[in-house]
Amino acid sequence: MSRYWSAVVHGLTPYVPGEQPKLDNLIKLNTNELPFGPSPAALAAIRAETSDSLRLYPDPNADRLKTALADRHRVAPNQVFVGNGSDEVLAHAFQGLLRQQAPVWFPDITYSFYPVYCGLYGIEYEPITLDESFRVRVSDYLPSDDRRAGGIVIANPNAPTGRLSPIEDIERIVAGNPQCVVLVDEAYVDFGGTSAIGLVASHPNLLVVHTFSKSRALAGLRVGYAIGQADLIEGLERVKNSFNSYPLDRLAIAGAVASVEDEAWFRDTCDRVIANREQLAADLTQAGFEVLPSAANFVFARHPDHDAAALARALRERAIIVRHFARPRIDQFLRITVGTREQCARLVEALQEILAG
Ligand SMILES: *Cc1c(COP(=O)(O)O)cnc(C)c1O
């Protein structure tokens, strides 16, 4: 507390990221990073950019990256916005597109940064309760005479549940809410979902957000992007250019472009993660866990007879860290990032030991 803080700062409840432990030799399954390194081509491009050129500012518009992403997703470059991680893209979208007269709707259980942005920008929000299996019910997201959204945010697949809504459900929500922007956060879509980017051409109110942090194994580079119709993107550019002209540095632009161009690495890596996820889910089920169906690079699981917080502590004693959220409805679940096959096997062994304990 300080008397020099503004009233806004006094009122903030900041997001708490998953732990980045300083210890070596931990099996780190708590923040949904990939267990594999990024595309070797991306690393080579970053090294090549590590030169005297760093004395120069980067391209403020990151045109090379926008073009590469536009080509990959079959949209025009002016339909692409890039930012310093998708968290920054989301922040600009909340401020520039979702701050309206009516409250923003998002699920009661979802990425916990959304309410934080609402706090920062003074946006009212209404949590919409997921059904008992943590599914999005489309009818809850359609306006009625006395109830309409100023914006809607859906993570698909959702976090921390991993559950995927069918693309038809997303389309019904987008089509049913022409009065506001529907933001679909597809941080995990590459692990088995269908992207809503294909709907952008026919829906002026749809903004789809992606990240390089998960499926491209570049969380440390901080690159995210949004795809929408050109006027939505221009709105984000206006916010960005009133905040920081150079959110992507030279290394980030070079690495991200090379990553997008390495489609073979990308496909192979996503396939490996999906295969490991299916094995992990089967092994956990075998060990007595209930595992929610996941289309992400993590699983969300609970054991009927063992307290989740206690399990997380016992795993930590065995140098394995997973994520536990002490929040209503989900405090008996563990969110476990899909690791290498060996990491997953060691996790399952450790859990078997603890359960036998
Ligand atoms: C990881 C994650 C992000 C943030 O990604 P960055 O690009 O690393 O900022 C955004 N949304 C969801 C749902 C995530 O899980």
Q: What is the pLDDT of residues 65-75, one digit of tens each?
A: 999 999 999 99
Q: What pLDDT sits at residue 176? A: 98
Asked if domains 17-37+264-356 and 40-261 share a fold, the reply is no
| Helix/strand/coil percentages in the chain, nearest 5 | 40, 15, 45
**H or E element that contains 270:** helix 263-286
d(CA 211, CA 343): 24
| pLDDT less than 50: residues of the chain | none
Which ligand 1 atom sits nearest the alpha carbon of residue 211?
Answer: 7
Q: What pLDDT sits at residue 21? A: 83
Query: 219 CA to middle of ligand 1, Å?
Result: 9
Which ligand 1 atom sits nearest the alpha carbon of residue 32?
Answer: 1
Q: What pLDDT sits at residue 171? A: 98
Place of tokens 């595309």: 39
3-class DSSP assignment, residue 126: strand
Q: What pLDDT sits at residue 1? A: 85
Phi, psi of 2 (to 5 degrees): -145, 145
d(CA 259, CA 271): 16
For the chain, the domains span 17-37+264-356, 40-261
Give 23-65 pLDDT, tens digit per residue.
778 999 999 999 999 999 999 999 999 999 999 999 999 999 9
Phi, psi of 142 (to 5 degrees): -105, 140
Q: What pLDDT sits at residue 357? A: 84
Q: What pTM was computed for the model?
A: 0.97
* Contact by Cβ (8 Å): 291, 161: no
Q: What pLDDT sits at residue 154? A: 98
Q: What pLDDT sits at residue 25? A: 83
d(CA 127, CA 230): 29
Ligand 1 contacts (CB < 6 A) are 32, 85-87, 111, 155, 159, 185, 187, 211, 213, 219, 224
Q: Which of 244, 271, 225, 230 is nearest to 68 (CA)?
A: 225
Q: What pLDDT sits at residue 91? A: 98
- Looking at domain 40-261, which of 3.40.640.10, 3.50.50.60, 3.40.50.360, 3.40.50.300 is its CATH number? 3.40.640.10
Place of tokens 């294909």: 198
Domain 17-37+264-356, classified CATH 3.40.47.10, yes or no:
no
Q: Which of 332, 329, 348 is nearest to 340 (CA)?
A: 348
Query: 357 CA to middle of ligand 1, Å?
Result: 36
Neighbours of 241 (CB within 10 A): 11
Which ligand 1 atom sits nearest the alpha carbon of residue 110?
Answer: 13
3-class DSSP assignment, residue 8: helix
